[in-house]
Structure 1
C-alpha cells in the first residue's frame, strides 16, 4: 500500500509539472531554432537559443544546410512548435515568410510543417512572434561600437553631437530633428580612416519608431545615406551596443508617471493618485516631478523596503524606468534606462523628503533629498526640517478671486494646495512667483511650500 501511495504521489507531481508547461500562449521571452539543417540536429537540449532583440522578436546567425529541415520551438520541449504554413517550404535570403503556431506533444506530420533552405550558407534569421513572420538575410557581421560616437547629418542641421555609451549598453540621441538624414561615425570630423555606423539597409526611416529596428553595419564609405527622418519632430534615438541594432522613439509627453516601491508610503501600489503620481511641468512637457516622503523603515512587512522604480502607466506591462545596474543610489543626476527586461531598481538609505525630476525625452533624472523628516504627501505632515525658513516675509502667499498666488525670495519651491481635511487639489513642482491654483470656492485652504531651505505650511482664507 505504501509503494502504491508513493507511486501515485510521483505520478501526480509529474502531471502537475506537465500541466504547468502546457500553457497555450506564446512566450515572448525565448525562442529556439532546431532541425537537421542547423548545427543542432533535432536535440531539444542542444537547440540554438535565439537572441532576444525585443519582446517577441528574435535573431539567430549560423549555418544552414540545403535540402534539410528546420523549425522553431518556444521552449526546450516538442510542445509549442512555430512552423511553416505549407509542407517543405523553401526559404531564401531577402524574403519573409508566414509562421504558424502548433501546440501539441504529439504533433502529426500533416501539421508539423518545416522550412528547407534553398541553398547551403550562412544566414541571419529574424523571427517576430507578434506578427508571426520570419525573414532570412546574409549573415550579419558583428559590429563593435566604440565607447564614443558622433552624430551628424541634415536632420541635425549639420551640427555634430558627441555621444558616449551609457551603462556599457547603449547610446542615446534626443533632439528635435528636421527632415533629412542622420549618420554616426567614430571621429568628430571625417577622415580617410573614419568608420561609419549605418543601418544594414540604407534609408531606414526612424519615423516608424521602435517597430522598425535596424541591424548595424560598419563602413568607411563617407557617402552613406544613414537613417532617414521623413517627419520632423522630437525623437529619442537608440544605438544598442549590446544588440548591435538601432531604432528611434517618437517623443510623446506623459500626463503623469507612477512612483512605486517598498520605500513609498503605499509600497507597490500605483493606483493611489495622492502619493504615487508625478506632476508635469507646464512649460516643459518632457519634464515631470514627484515630491514626497520616502523611508526604508516603514513599520510593516513589505517587499524590498528600500527600493523603488517608475512606471509609465498604471500597470506592470508598459514601459518602466529603471537604473542600468541594480540597487543604484537614488540621490544624484544620471541617465535612466527604458530598454531591456532587467527589473533593476533604485535604492535609498535614509528617510526624508525627496524631489525626483524626470526628463522623458533625454531619459535623464535628478533626485535630491530636501530634508530628513518633512512629509509632503498625505494629511499628517511634519514641517520640522533642516534649515527651515523662519522669516515669513521671505515668502508671500496671497489669495483672491478663487486664485492662490505665491512669491518666494528663497528661490524655486514646490507648492501644493490642500483642503482643510488634507485633500490635495493643486500643485506646482517648481515655482518662484506666480499663480499656483485657480477656480477655488470660498473656504479655508492649506498651502504647503518645500524647497532647499524652506518647508512651511500656512492656512489661507478664500473669502471671495
Structure 2
C-alpha cells in the first residue's frame, strides 16, 4: 500500500498536480477584462495558507474561444490551467483540478464558462483545485444613489465626480502615493451607500468589479501604488470602474530602432524624453531602420522605466492591427495600449529624427532631427563599468546631474547627486541598471556585479 501511495505521489508530481507554492496569482484571458495581456492581468486576493480568491465578470465562451487561466507573474509560465486536453467547461459549485504548467506544451487548453456573469473564483494550492461560484448582488438604484463622490485615505474630504450620463461619473487628477499605501472608494451624498473593490490590491489602468453596500459605508479601498494622474470612471448600474493611469511628467522611448540590436527589448534601454510641458515630450536622435542581423526595427513609448515592466506603454493606434511606418512631417495617433494591439512604429530608413509626443492630444509628430546635436551626444557620453563588486561611473568630461542604481525589481539601491566620476561599492552581486542624468539626457546602462 505504501508503495502504491508513493507511486501515485510521483505520478501527480510529474503531471504538475502536486501542491504549488506561489505568493501571487492573476486571472488572465479573453473571458476577462484583462484579455491576453500580461500587463493587464487581474490580481487575486491572497488569503494565506495557499488560498486565493477573486470576484469579477467572466464572459461565456462564445464560439468556444473565450477562456481564462491563471499566471503567477507578468510572464506566461508558470501558469495554472486545466488538466484536460481541450478547453474545460467549469460548472459553478463543482471543484476542478488545476495543472501547474511550467513550459509551453500543446494543447494550450484553458477554462471556459457557458454563461456570462459575475463569478467568485476560489483557488486552493494545497489541493490544486479551483471552485467557481456564480454570485448575485443587490443592484443599486441609480436615482437613489445619486451623485457619486470619491472618498478614502487618498482624499482629505470626499470629492464630487463629474456626471457623464445617468449613473456614470468620472474624475481625473493626480493622486499621491504614500507609506502606508493610501486608496479610495465611492460614496453617495449622505454617505449611507458605497462601492468598494471586489478584490484587494493596487490599481493600474484597466477595468475593476465593485461590491455595493446599501446599509452603511464599506471602507475597503482601491489602493494607489504610485503617484500619477488617474482618470477614474464609475458606472453605478453595472457596478464597474475603469481606470486610466498616466504619468504626465515622464516619458521614455524604447525599442530596437534606438540600438539596432537584434533580440528581445530591454526596458532599461529606454531613453527619457525631454518634457516641454506637462504631458508633452520631445526627443531628437538617431533611429535605425534595421538591426545588425537585417531585421526591421520598431519603437514605442513607456510611461515608467522599471526593468522588465511593460505596463503603461503607448503604441500606434491600438484599434488598428498593424505597425505604422513613420515619415518626416507625419502625425500619428497614439494609444494607451491596455489590452489592445501592441502596434509599434517602424523606421523606413536610418536618419536623425525629432519626435514629439502629446499625451493630452494622444499624438506623435515626426520632424527631421539635428545631426550636429546628435553627433555631439553620441561622441560624448558617460561610461559605466563594473569592476568586481564596484560600479564605476566615469563622467567623460560631462557634468553629471545625478546617478541612480536599480536592482532588477526596480528598487533604487544606491544614488548620488551632482558628481563627476563616482564609484558605488555594492554589497551584493547581481544585475543592476545604472541611470545617469546629464542635462536633458538620461543614459541607462546594465552591469553585472560579481
Alignment TM-score, normalising by the size of structure 1: 0.40
Alignment TM-score, normalising by the size of structure 2: 0.41
The structure whose Rg is larger is 1
More RCO (CA 8 Å, sep 6+): 2
